[in-house]
Each structure stands twice: as structure tokens, then as C-alpha cells.
Amino acid sequence: MAACCLRDKLPNGGRVKAPNFNYVRATGLVQVLELLAQYGEDAQILAGGQSLMPALNMRLSQPRLLIDINGLETLKGISLANGHVRIGALARHAEVASSPIICHHLPLIAEAMPYVAHVAVRNRGTFGGSLAFADPAAELPACALALDARLVLDSLAGRREIAAAEFFKGLHATARRADELIVEAVIPLASNAVPVFMELARRHGDFALAGLALQLTLAGSIVADGRLAYFGSDDRPKLGQATLAAIKGKPLGPGLGEIAAAHLPGDLDPISNAHGSAKARLHWQCVLTRRALALALSRATGEG
């Protein structure tokens, strides 16, 4: 009886089967851009497929055309040049997690990667795919926001860069146009930066109920600048701008967490759902903020 009730509530009468669509395995970037220009919102990009394939099978996504970009070598790889790290859109999560460049130059992302789903997903999922899907509970969009990443999008009209702070618009909504493809993320290096990543989830690998990607730039023991990116509680990752303003110019000390937590309600607008109320989510984010700043202090003093 329970199974029947569940089936009745599912799209397509409960059948886990993708709709009919055309499929193209792309052999070049220009081909992809031409197809996106032709089909627009009726086309979907297949990279890792870790989010897309369930959506297809549940018929939450019903494209006319599926464009497989897995063979495009130009969208792969991780490199360092001119004070920036470039992460190709097709860089697998497992590749990002094991990259010496990421571990050495972007420790915030390295710290976040073990929280990204499970091993099987990390072996297939891609960096660009996570950004494009824009799940509000995902780790990598928050890291991109905290690190002031710039996303490079390509189309037949030419390439453009957009800051991560301007890219995420809402639940699975971004500034990417239907004829555009994310080709890479470009992330600046930061000196004297202290990174901290934390999240709260029911089980390891589950989507976060609340989370924080933090990077502070210090001048001695003073918070000179930084970015606090919150995820899992709102409809998109959000910067704690009022929170940062409240702690900027102050010493990184034991009382800083309370100051930050007091200003956090001005930055967030949590949503309520079956996993927690808005009030509970805000409380969780305040707790994580206190813990993250305490850990930042420990790391800055060489104790953590």
C-alpha cells in the first residue's frame, strides 16, 4: 500500500524511466555552442550526470536534446598561472580532491571535497556541473563564492566572465543563459588567508542542512578582509556581508564568534522544509559561525 501511495505521488505515475530525447556526443566545443544556440532551453548538458540522470528518470527534466561533453579535453584539467588557479568545468570531483595545486593553493576547496556526496559520485561528478546545477545545499558553489571565483561562460557570441557573487540567483537558478556553457572557474590566490569549511548534515554525504565556507585575510591578528559564504539554509549560497563588516578590523579572538552570530540574521533568510524550520537553520548557522571562527583562531595561532 505504501509503495502504491508513493507511486501515485511521483511524476510519470511512479515510473523511473527517462523521457525520449535525442543524444549527441560532442567532438568539439564549437559544436556544443552551435547546438546550444539552436536548441536553447530544450537542450541539456551531460557531464558527470550525477544530478541530471536522476532528474531525467524522474522526468523532472525533459530535454529534446542531450549533449554529452565528456570527450572535450579543453574543458578538463587544473592549472596554476598568473596568481590564479584554473579549474576546468570537466574536472572530476575526485581529481579536484587529489590535486596538489588545490591542496596547496586552495585549501578551502580541499577541505570541502570529502563532504561532497560519496566516493562513487565524486568519481563522476564535475566541478562545472556542480556550479551549473546550483543546488543551495551543495558545497562547491559556496566555496566558489567564498573564494571570489570568476566563472567563464562561452557561447557563439563570445566568452564572458561573471563573479560567483552574481552567478547564483536562486534554487537551481543562475545567470547562465540557455546558449552558454561553463568552461572553467578562475580563482585568485590569497596570501595570509585562513580557510575553514564546516557543514551540518544528518549523515556524512547527505545534503547539508547548514554550512559555512570561510576565508579570512589577516593583518597580524586583525581581520583585514575575507568572505563568509553560507549554504544549505537559503535558496542559494549567500555571503555574510553584514557579518563580515561586524568583525572586520577586530582581532581574531575568542569573542569574535558572538559578534558575528549577532549580525548573521541580517544576512540570511532561511527557508523552512521537512528537514528544519527557518529558525532552526538560522540557529545552526550561528553555531557553525562560532565554531568556524574559533577554528580559524586556532589555525592562525598554529594550534589547529
pLDDT, tens only, 63-75: 999 999 999 999 9
Cα-trace Rg, the chain: 20
Domains recognised in the chain with CATH numbers: 17-68 (3.30.43.10), 73-188 (3.30.465.10), 193-299 (3.30.390.50)
pLDDT for position 13: 55
Q: How far apart are CA 167 and CA 148, in angstroms?
A: 11
Cell reading at 19:
523521457
Q: How many CA atoms lie within 13 A of 150 on its CB side?
A: 10
Banded pLDDT at 49 (limits 50, 70, 90): confident
Banded pLDDT at 54 (limits 50, 70, 90): confident
Q: How far apart are CA 29 and CA 242, in angstroms?
A: 41
Question: 302 or 105: which carries more pLDDT confidence?
Answer: 105
pLDDT, tens only, 95-150: 999 999 999 999 999 999 999 999 999 999 999 999 999 999 999 999 999 999 99
Give me the count of residues in the chain. 304
Q: Is the pLDDT of residue 4 over 50?
A: no
Beta strands at 65-68 and 22-25: parallel, antiparallel or unpaired: parallel
The mean pLDDT of the chain is: 93
pLDDT for position 283: 98
User: Which helix (H) or strand (E) element contains residue 268?
Assistant: none
Percent of the chain with pLDDT over 90: 84
pLDDT for position 12: 53
Q: How far apart are CA 125 and CA 132, in angstroms?
A: 12
Q: Is the pLDDT of residue 5 over 60?
A: no
Contact indicator for 243, 265 with CB cutoff of 8 Å: no
- pTM for this structure? 0.92
How big is the CA angle at 103 (ends 102 and 108), to the nearest 5 degrees? 80
pLDDT, tens only, 234-291: 999 999 999 999 999 999 999 999 999 999 999 999 999 999 999 999 999 999 999 9
Closest CA to 127 of 92, 78, 80, 76: 92
